[in-house]
Amino acid sequence: MTAWNRFNEAAYWLLRAIYLNFLWMIFTLLGAVFFGIFPATVAMFHISRQWLVEKDLSLRVFKKFWRIYKAEFIKTNVFAIAFIICAYILYIDFIFLILADGWVNYLYPVFILLAFMYVATLTFFFPVYVNFQLKRTQYIKQSFLIAMASPLHFVMIIMSLTALGIVAFLLPGIVPLFTGSVMAFVTTYLTNHSIERIKIKQQKNFAKEEPFYKF
């Protein structure tokens, strides 16, 4: 591949990232943010998976985004409400621990564990959601189990998203251009490696014993 071809390919991916991020923001706003963020994010991860994993660049992005957004609107908002309630409970617990004294301080490790489980589950939720057809509660369970089975990829995702957040804070002008789509690209790429590695391990161990995480 020549330098010009590499430049063209990079430019096309840049435009794809901008366009996908634009759709994500518009459809999030379409749902008044609260009701739009989860279905818009699921649609964005669907597109990211087709581009990065399936290598399908021919799809009509807007039409597919809109179709997924409508189809997943109710279902994904059920998950959104659940995650928001859990986040609110963790916030109340955190405030309580800060204000309380005495024996309550011994509950800090429990809070840290619960917060870690929440972050791990949410980090892998969207890639798991677009990769598998599961029962509703299984999405939560499998998201957490895959995170625990892939600690290196989990740390890499958190570090990448943290770096992206820092860059967005320092250069807020990139937020409407890249933030959401780059987040989806990084998470999709790393999570796919995790899932494929787990599948290979399952295939090797299937004859010996039943794996503790199932797809």
What confidence score (pLDDT) does residue 208 get? Answer: 59
User: Percentage of residues in the chain with pLDDT exceeding 90?
Assistant: 71
Report the alpha-carbon distance of residue 121 to residue 119 in Å, rounded.
5
Report the alpha-carbon distance of residue 55 to residue 130 in Å, rounded.
15
- The 8 Å CB, 24+ separation contacts for 29-35 are 31/73, 34/80, 35/73, 35/77, 35/80
Q: Is the pTM of this model over 0.75?
A: yes
pLDDT digits (tens, 9 = 90+) for 21-77: 999 999 999 999 999 999 999 999 999 999 999 999 877 899 999 999 999 999 999
* 114, two tokens: 């619960």
Q: Where are the domains of the chain?
A: 3-205
User: Percentage of residues in the chain with pLDDT exceeding 70?
Assistant: 94
For residues 205 and 153, is the Cβ–Cβ distance under 8 A?
no
- Nearest CA-CA partner of 184 in 61, 94, 11: 61
Report the alpha-carbon distance of residue 44 to residue 23 in Å, rounded.
8
Of the given ranges (59-63, 110-114, 143-147, 154-158), which has the lowest mean pLDDT?
59-63
* 61, two tokens: 């992005």
- Token look-up 């749902």 returns 31
Q: What is the mean pLDDT of the segment spanning 135-146?
A: 94
CB atoms within 10 A of CB 111: 14
- Nearest CA-CA partner of 150 in 187, 193, 106, 110: 193
